[in-house]
A and B are shown apart, each in its own frame.
Chain A
Amino acid sequence: MATIDYKNKILTAFDESFDSKKGVRPVYAAYADWLAGKDFSQLAQKSRDAELLFRRVGITFAVYGEEEGAERLIPFDVVPRILAANEWKRLSDGACQRVRALNMFLNDLYHGQDIIKAGVVPESILTNEMYRPEMQGVDVSGGVYAHIAGIDIVRTEADTFYVLEDNLRTPSGVSYMLEDRRMMMRLFPELFRNYPIAPVEHYPQLLLENLRAVAPRGANNPTVVLMTPGAYNSAYFEHAFLAQQMGIELVEGRDMFVKDNAVFMRTTEGPKQVDVIYRRIDDDFIDPLAFRQDSMLGVPGLISVYRNGGVALANAIGTGVADDKSTYIYVPEMIRFYLGEEPILSNVPTYKLSVADDRKYVLEHLAELVVKEVQGSGGYGMLVGPTSSKSQIEDFRLRILANPDNYIAQPTLALSTCPTLVEQGVAPRHVDLRPYVLTGKTTTVVPGALCRVAMNEGSLVVNSSQGGGTKDTWVLQC
């Protein structure tokens, strides 16, 4: 029999489903009852079914550093993460609040820079590599910069949530939110009859509406496309999936060209003008004339058209300056500055290695802290002190000393755990949560998220590139 039974386990962190004093939490009660009627082998079989289905559908991602074109599945866990309606309200309000402030910040930074004049954010931000001087004074359509934002949130206590980072460039993973849900409905239809689970399936339509909303003026019935670096990109499946779900063309750089201050795609019927590009390619590669000259993936001249308002890009060029880990520390102040509100979600306390006092403290406490590269992503280039060996720590110390400005450090958070199917049964594994916040005319979020889970016992690194898996996230409607 499968149960959420941690009685013999010492919980090292807040568990989403279980309280060591009161037992199963109310939000998981019905699920635990259902689970009690299942054999472990039945669940394991469902898990294998899911893997087969995912492989057949080709929901794979390429892993950098492995043989070119190698395709792997992200492990999928059949036990959902369940959030109560009030928990979700707080999370979604907090994430939307953050994205509103970040969009205002970007607009301000690339125009009047009031926030620097007010002394809230230091002028040194203009020397950040992710700041794009090309964007200074450029009016982007609707004043929106981060049309799609992935906000990474972790929980440490019943009422304590932290934002770990904001992803404002080309956040990925939303296809797993959608495909995991589809899979759960296929594997366990009976659960969906009995649980009031908020739907997420309308995400692609909402995204398309938002993209159409930022089309340049004068484009009636705008043509929206999704631009991918190509079939060997790690997130290619997602690019294809989203384009298909929105019914728009999936284009590569070589499918487009610039003429007469407009962007066109090559079609079988001749050139067709493009109004909005949902680009899943980094700033650096998007236009060899503006950024990296060796980029084979971009469209020469695209940025010039963009700056003149001939085409809209989502996300905008230059959003990286706002999701940089050295900018992260100012986000609560941005919320107060632009919105006049108190932040609903907190930041993780963060030490800047460029500051002498912080550096001294961090170097003395490396074994307790998490150290990250300022511009790192995907779980690469980070040190998790408590789970690292002495030599790994010493190795990292040298890297920090060589370039302290490149690092920040945070206390190691005891990320909440969530019941997860592992070889021995159902056991607690650490999770995080990434809701996708969309901004067009307004800022909204569908009631769901990508939930990443560190499949290895005790591991705190949930990134898919580091062997993390995903779970369906249920937001209960009542």
Chain B
Amino acid sequence: MLSRTADHLYWMARYIERAENMARMLDVTYRMSLVQNAAQSEAALWVPLLHISDTVEDFQATYDEVTARNVIYYIAMDERNLSSIYNCLRAARENAHAVRVAMSSEMWENINSLWLEFQQMDKLLILDSGLSEFCDWVKSRSHLFRGVTYGTMLRDDGFRFTRLGGFIERADDMARLLDVKYHLLLPSASDVGGAVDYYEWSALLRSASAYEAYLKVYRDAVMPLRVAELLVLRHDMPRSLHACMDELTNILDQLSGDAGRECKRQAGEMHSSLHYGRIEDIFRGGLHEFLESFLRHNNRLGIEIQRTYLNAPSLNEAGLDESVSTLEQYQS
């Protein structure tokens, strides 16, 4: 298929997935803020969201103070924030608009009506009382779009590039979420197993729709090591890094043509470290170091996919490189 078409489909899916994950993080932080202990400041609760999306500096350039209201607005609605849900949905719809031919008409209508609905929303109401509802809306529209994609799109390379974008993005978002949360909750790896706030860990699980799954798999109290195992190594947990790499390696194998050797090699390497990895080993070397390395590899894979298949110059590509380094700066 046309490289530019593949590029638009790939980025359309990435932006939808990113919007969904931003909504998940926003929602879980908001819920935590409702039960937060008095010792924690408003800023301490909300700043991590900015770290996850690498927007601390931009945020500070725009706002004087880290307040719940400011961060929520910045992440959900702010047109100046390139990763805001607003901008993700707009970019997803624009990418779809450019290649509506390449998808089923149901998919196009779905994403177009998503955008029309979003534009009609009462932005102030979302800030005041409707945040959870809004986040649920974003999540369910993302589910709906994924569903209509699975249910109606021809199983051609267009379908594969759409999914490829979704899983690359999900792997990136999940690794960032875990990294930032772990970093904040556990300043050093030696604290593993120590006393932690039950709400914080269960909130992290909930943001990945993994709370019920955790209870089912471990039938035990929420423990940091197991949370990490579930979200990194369990292949049957659909938002885990392992599950993302399962999908990515499969999809890359199915793509037509012989160009993808290097992509497949990189994905295979990442996949085996998750497939054969043990959580104890990962913690011994440091979860943060592990996730950091994963993010770097995932980013490199994204660039390789871009270069191999989507090579026509892409506006979406800008900024791909620097994202990992800012995260590193924050954490070192």
Chain A contacts to B: CB under 8 angstroms: 55-58, 230-231, 240, 243-244, 249-252, 254-255, 265-270
Name the segment of B71-79, B193-201, B212-220, B254-262 touching the other chain.
B254-262
CA distance A275 to B116 in the complex (A): 39
Quick check: A55 and B312 within 8 Å, CB to CB? no
Residue B105 lies at the interface, judged by CB distance under 8 Å to chain A: yes
Residue B5 lies at the interface, judged by CB distance under 8 Å to chain A: yes
CA distance A249 to B100 in the complex (A): 11
Q: What is the chain B residue whose CB lies nearest that of A242?
A: B101
Pick the contact of B100 from A55, A58, A267 — CB < 8 Å? Answer: A58
Query: Most chain-A Cβ atoms within 10 A of its Cβ — which of B4, B105, B157, B312?
Result: B4
Quick check: B2 and A251 within 8 Å, CB to CB? yes
Q: How many A-B residue pairs have CB under 8 A?
A: 68
Query: Most chain-B Cβ atoms within 10 A of its Cβ — which of A55, A251, A254, A269?
Result: A269
- CB neighbours (8 Å) of B311 from chain A are 266
- CB neighbours (8 Å) of B109 from chain A are 56-58
Pick the contact of A268 from B3, B98, B100, B113 — CB < 8 Å? Answer: B3
Quick check: A267 and B259 within 8 Å, CB to CB? no
Question: Which residues of B from 293 to 329 have beta carbons under 8 Å from A?
Answer: 309-313
CA distance A64 to B213 in the complex (A): 54
Quick check: A244 and B4 within 8 Å, CB to CB? no
Task: Determine the interface band of chain B, counting residues with CB < 8 A from chain A.
Answer: 20 to 34
* A273 → B minimal CB distance (Å): 14
Pick the contact of B116 from A55, A231, A268 — CB < 8 Å? Answer: A55
CA distance A55 to B98 in the complex (A): 16
* B148 → A minimal CB distance (Å): 13
Quick check: B101 and A268 within 8 Å, CB to CB? no
CA distance A329 to B108 in the complex (A): 45
Quick check: B2 and A265 within 8 Å, CB to CB? yes
Q: A56-B116, A255-B312 are in contact. Are A266 and B2 (CB under 8 A)?
A: yes
Q: A55-B116, A56-B116, A268-B255 are in contact. Are A240 and B100 (CB under 8 A)?
A: yes
Quick check: A250 and B99 within 8 Å, CB to CB? yes
- CB neighbours (8 Å) of B157 from chain A are 268
- CB neighbours (8 Å) of B3 from chain A are 255, 266-268
Quick check: B105 and A252 within 8 Å, CB to CB? no
Quick check: A268 and B105 within 8 Å, CB to CB? no
Q: What is the chain A residue whose CB lies nearest that of B103?
A: A244
Quick check: A252 and B4 within 8 Å, CB to CB? yes
- CB neighbours (8 Å) of A231 from chain B are 94, 97-98
Quick check: A266 and B100 within 8 Å, CB to CB? no
Quick check: B256 and A57 within 8 Å, CB to CB? no
CA distance A405 to B18 in the complex (A): 58
* B165 → A minimal CB distance (Å): 13
Residue B15 lies at the interface, judged by CB distance under 8 Å to chain A: no
- CB neighbours (8 Å) of A265 from chain B are 2
CA distance A255 to B98 in the complex (A): 13
* B93 → A minimal CB distance (Å): 10
Pick the contact of B257 from A249, A254, A268 — CB < 8 Å? Answer: A268
* B211 → A minimal CB distance (Å): 35
Instruction: Name 10 interchain pairs, CB-CB below 8 A, sorted by A.
Output: A55-B116, A240-B100, A254-B312, A255-B312, A266-B2, A266-B311, A268-B1, A268-B255, A268-B310, A269-B257
Residue B6 lies at the interface, judged by CB distance under 8 Å to chain A: yes
- CB neighbours (8 Å) of B5 from chain A are 249-250
CA distance A267 to B102 in the complex (A): 13
Query: Most chain-B Cβ atoms within 10 A of its Cβ — which of A252, A265, A268?
Result: A268
Question: Which residues of B from 35 to 94 have beta carbons under 8 Å from A?
Answer: 94
Quick check: B2 and A249 within 8 Å, CB to CB? yes
Quick check: B312 and A266 within 8 Å, CB to CB? yes
- CB neighbours (8 Å) of B312 from chain A are 254-255, 266
* A246 → B minimal CB distance (Å): 10
Residue B112 lies at the interface, judged by CB distance under 8 Å to chain A: yes
